[in-house]
Each structure stands twice: as C-alpha cells, then as structure tokens.
Structure 1
C-alpha cells in the first residue's frame, strides 16, 4: 500500500480526485474473461483519456455475474494497467462478508489505491442503521486500505446522512458514493465533508456540486469515452454509438474546478441534462447468456 491506515484520509484528500469512471468488463464468446480486451481498454482509459482513476468491477462491470477468481484477476489487470497513469478503486461488494474481506485483502496486497463496498443488502431488517454501522466498523477494523462507502436504494434502504457521518469517523473510511437526492448528499457534505469525500453519479448535478459544494471527486457511471467498440465483446449491452471515444470529461471538470467561483462556468441546463439513452437492459448480459445456454 502507498499509505498507512492512519494516513488513509489524508492520502485520499490529496489523491482521490478527478473523474473515476466505472469500467466495463469484456468477455469472450465463450463468456470467459477477455484479458487482452481488458488490457487494451485499460490503455485507452488510463493513457489516452488520462482519467483520474477507474472504478473496477462495479455494477457496470457485472461483478455479480463473475466468480471470485475472475474478480481478483480483473483487479490485477487494472492495477497493472493503471500503474503510473491513474488510480484504481476496486469494488469488493458482495452479499457474503467473507468474500468482501477476501477481495479487499487481495486489493490491499496487489496495490489498489482504495476499495469501495456497497452497503449490505437487507431484505428484512429491524434496525438497519445499527447493522450497517457494525458492518462498516468491522471492515474498517479488519482492513488497512482506504474504504469508500456506496449506498443506493436497491440495497433495500437509504443510509441517513447522520449514519454516514458517524461511519466517517472510522480511521480508513475515505469517501462515499451516495446515490440519493441532492438534499441528502448536501447534508452529508455539511456533516462530514472534512472527513470523507462525497460523490454521486448524477450527471445533471455534477457541475453544481463542483461549484456549490466544492467537490473534487466524481465517481462516475461508465460514459461514451470509456470504451471502444472493437474492445467490447458481444455480451455487453452498450449500444455501438456510445462506444465512440469523446473529449474526456475530466478535462471539462478540471476547467470547472479552476473556475469554481465564477458563475460563467455553468453551461446552459440543457447542455448538462442530455440523458444517455437506456439500452433496455437492467441485468447482466453475461448472466442472460449463461441462463439461455442452460435452457
């Protein structure tokens, strides 16, 4: 690791910044991991686009359809490809705590910068906040690497800003991807912005958050500049027109950060709110292919 546990917050404050884009995972026709394709993608993301960092094996990366060895191998390829060019945060989210810890320790050992762990899925719960606090307290206790929290309604509940701020007191909790409405993540920024970096995936609000909240980190969804069509297998669900390389968003963000105090930095609302069309897929293309093969 590049820092000690007690240095995690300071290290993240200095280095966990810019656009960290979610990576797609390419698979071959036989649905095995396409290592050569992933290496080519890494060169594009890290060296051509010069992104601040990469969010590896998140939901866009279809971690839920991958085996633990496949996830570990993808982490290794990402760290190898990013070395000297950009940072890596590995998604160690899983419904099994032992798997989370196994992936997290592997990330520590291979030199990933940080890990991100989704809040646990609780289909039935009496006191979710107490459970979630103990979950992250245990992870913090067991690990040295900087941990980013991740909360989204699909886990069955929303973490309150107050709970997030309490967890932010833990020594190696460094950031949070908070997929909630603006009022909630603004409140969290007010409560704990001096201890953790707060981010959300909303593309409509990202410039407002740079200017109004002083954010320096964007944990982004996958976007058009992050892929090339010849490097993505048929098993992914992204339409071809989204795969064309475009001007890196991080360069535009850097301009906005440098002009934070200037209202003229804001583009017209319509320019910020052009949505990326849905592909109509809400599940893993790889999982669908595997299911179909069994039928």
Structure 2
C-alpha cells in the first residue's frame, strides 16, 4: 500500500488577529515558510492548531485557506474531530470539497476511555467521504489496557482507515501496532520529544508542534535515520529536546507563536481561554533562545 505521509509534518498553528479573530490572511506567510523548509505535509486544526477552540465555520475557512496555499505540493490532513459526530462528518465532507488529501479525528471528547464509542465515531467519519482516514490516537482514545490486537481488530471495520497519528509515549504499543499490521498502516508519531525513538520503532514520519519553528532539525533527524546514521538522528533529537524543555516552561503553543512573531511571521496569541505567554515567560523564551549553541530552524 502506498503511504501518504513519509517525513516531517507540522501540526500547523492557527493564526488569529489582535481581536482573537481567525486571520486567514496570515496563512500564506506561515505556509510558505514551511514549504521553503521542505516539510512533507501539513496537519491542520489539531491540538496545536487550537481546533477545539474554533467554530465549525472557522475550521472550514482555515481549510479553504491552507489547501490552495499548499497547492498540492505536499499532502494536507484536516483534523475533523469534534464534540459531535455530526460536526465531524460536516467537516470531513468540507475537507473533501477543498481538495484536502486526508482527514483525521480524535475520539469523542465526551466519551473518554470508551473505545467502542470511538469506533462508532470513526466509522461515521470514514463513511462520510472517500478520503483516507487517520485515527488521532491519545491514551484516552481507548481503554488503559489497550492492545494492538484490539486496536487493529476494531479499526479494520472502519472504512478508509489507513493509519494513525500516535500521540502517546507508549512506544511498546506503537511498535506492536506497526508489527501486527505488517507495516501496512501509515504509522505516524505525535510527541516531538520522541520523534527519533518513534523512527526506531518503525514510524513512517511524524506530526509535531515544534516543526512550525524548527522543521530543519527534525527533517535532518529523519534524513539521518533514513540514511542509517542513527547517531546523527539522536543528536538532532537532543537539540530539539533542549528547545522543547524551554517551551514547556512557557507553554508549547503560546511559545511557538511567540517565536514565530520574533521571526516576523505574526500568528497572534493563543485563543482566549488558552494559556497565554506572560511578560516573564516572553523574557524567559528570548533569553533561552539566545543561549543555544545551535540554530533553531
């Protein structure tokens, strides 16, 4: 089976203006910056993209802005997960109409640790279009004792299911999923801090937040691993994790948006209701970024 995602895919931040409104006019610069870095795709309106803080209409407008801007050069995956399955189906159908390449969804927010409810939700989305469907896996997407066998048996019934974004630190489960699926599924890791480890466990690529600000570090990591230079891949991961440790002090998404602003790619603050960077956090970020002995890019 041909796999849609291979390589490094930014979980795209969503730009807002100073009044907290969606600012699609800021999408072109954001997308161009990442295309120039040679990323392998875009994951839109997920957790990093603050999708759950956006209305259905705003998420549609974001799709309408990103897909044409990317112009078919790399795949665009639209996250369509929503509190209601009806909204998720609506978003999936809209994603298809924009020319997006695939859709993805988290499990229903109001049914944590209920794998059967998640399967019902996924099945409805899978039936809504003919787009490839990716499960956006969190630990809360199923039971605490989830096995690869149960996961694969359940999802085998979901139409158009082709892979998963694994946002979980349980690399044992990840490796079992890769192994038990015979490598047929498009296996993508989520946590940036274990990107290289995921590659060693058989990932095809990764979707991550900090790829918005340091795509080249992760692309170098991926290319090093693909060429057999595991040592260089791990060295790149160590660099990335130094940046991540700094971002964790101020809040990852708000920190990423602040760094983009410093680089003259304005995307606004995180949306009202989300943690926002303080003056103290801004100073911590600026000092920390200036102290690295490598380029964060």
Q: TM-score, normalised on structure 2?
A: 0.75
The question of whether the paired residues in 2 share the 8 Å contact of 1:54 and 1:87 is answered with yes
Task: Using the TM superposition, give the Cα deviation of residue 149 of structure 1 relative to its aligned residue in structure 2, in angstroms.
Answer: 0.2
Aligned-partner SS, 2:273: helix
Aligned: 1:130 with 2:99: no
Partner of residue 144 from structure 1, selected from 116, 124, 130: 130
The question of whether the paired residues in 1 share the 8 Å contact of 2:39 and 2:215 is answered with no
Q: Distance in 1 between matches of 2:49 and 2:253?
A: 13
Task: Using the TM superposition, give the Cα deviation of residue 153 of structure 1 relative to its aligned residue in structure 2, in angstroms.
Answer: 3.4
Structure 2: gaps spanning 5 or more residues: 255-268, 275-297
Aligned: 1:285 with 2:285: no
Task: Using the TM superposition, give the Cα deviation of residue 252 of structure 1 relative to its aligned residue in structure 2, in angstroms.
Answer: 3.2
Give the RMSD, CA atoms, in angstroms.
2.7
Structure 1: gaps spanning 5 or more residues: 1-9, 228-244, 290-295
Q: Deviations over 1:192-247 (max 9, x none)?
A: 2433122222334322332x333222122x21x525xxxxxxxxxxxxxxxxx663
Q: Distance in 2 between matches of 1:266 and 1:226?
A: 19
Aligned to 1:6: none
Aligned to 1:183: 172
The question of whether the paired residues in 1 share the 8 Å contact of 2:171 and 2:198 is answered with no
Q: Distance in 2 between matches of 1:40 and 1:102?
A: 28
The question of whether the paired residues in 2 share the 8 Å contact of 1:168 and 1:192 is answered with no
CA 1:90–1:282 in structure 2 vs 1: closer, same or farther (change >3 Å)? closer
Partner of residue 205 from structure 2, selected from 217, 235, 247: 217
Task: Using the TM superposition, give the Cα deviation of residue 114 of structure 1 relative to its aligned residue in structure 2, in angstroms.
Answer: 0.7
Aligned to 2:24: 35
CA 1:256–1:109 in structure 2 vs 1: closer, same or farther (change >3 Å)? same
Aligned: 1:173 with 2:161: yes
Task: Using the TM superposition, give the Cα deviation of residue 272 of structure 1 relative to its aligned residue in structure 2, in angstroms.
Answer: 6.0
Q: TM-score, normalised on structure 1?
A: 0.76
Superposition pairs of residues 4-153 of structure 1, within 5 angstroms:
10-11=1-2, 13=3, 15-46=4-35, 48-123=36-111, 128-153=114-139
CA 1:193–1:203 in structure 2 vs 1: closer, same or farther (change >3 Å)? farther
CA 1:122–1:28 in structure 2 vs 1: closer, same or farther (change >3 Å)? closer
Q: Distance in 2 between matches of 1:151 and 1:175?
A: 10
Aligned to 1:5: none
Q: Deviations over 1:153-206 (max 9, x none)?
A: 355855542232124424411111122211111111111243312222233432
Aligned to 1:233: none
CA 1:270–1:217 in structure 2 vs 1: closer, same or farther (change >3 Å)? closer
Q: How many residues get paired?
A: 253
Q: Distance in 2 between matches of 1:76 and 1:193?
A: 36
The question of whether the paired residues in 1 share the 8 Å contact of 2:224 and 2:233 is answered with no
Aligned-partner SS, 1:286: coil
Q: Distance in 1 between matches of 2:118 and 2:64?
A: 29
